[in-house]
Amino acid sequence: MQRAKFTFARLKYNSGDWDTDQRMPSNLLNSLLEYTTIPLDEEEKIVELSSRDLFKYPFCYLSGHKLVQFSQQEAVNFKTYVHNGGFVFVDDCNHDIDGLFARSFETQMSNLFGPQALKKIPNNHGI
């Protein structure tokens, strides 16, 4: 049985600037290729957050450093994706904890999943 290839799927959303960090996908894919035996699709896939295509990918990457404000369809898809077990790696790309992207993304998560949706993981956590 042939294993499915890992595809790096970047989420494209209508607000903000979804394509800010061009190096991250290639760096991650290069590391996976160099240090693992995971079968890879070596090309990044751009996926509209509002599209049903989102549900083809178990791993997605969302980035930016401007305002994040999901459309109604983007919000529905994001929530459904996460509730169905999808993994979203989110990067504010400017490393500014109090920046606009971080604050607006946190607001989106609170709106979708409740005020306790995002919690800091303590250094002594089992992960």
Tens digit of each residue's pLDDT (9 = 90 or more) over 50-99: 999 999 999 999 998 888 999 999 999 999 999 999 999 998 876 665 68
Classify the C-alpha dihedral 72-87-100-25 as positive or negative: negative
pTM over 0.95: no
**Domains of the chain listed by start with CATH number:** 9-113 (3.40.50.12140)
Model pLDDT, residue 95: 64
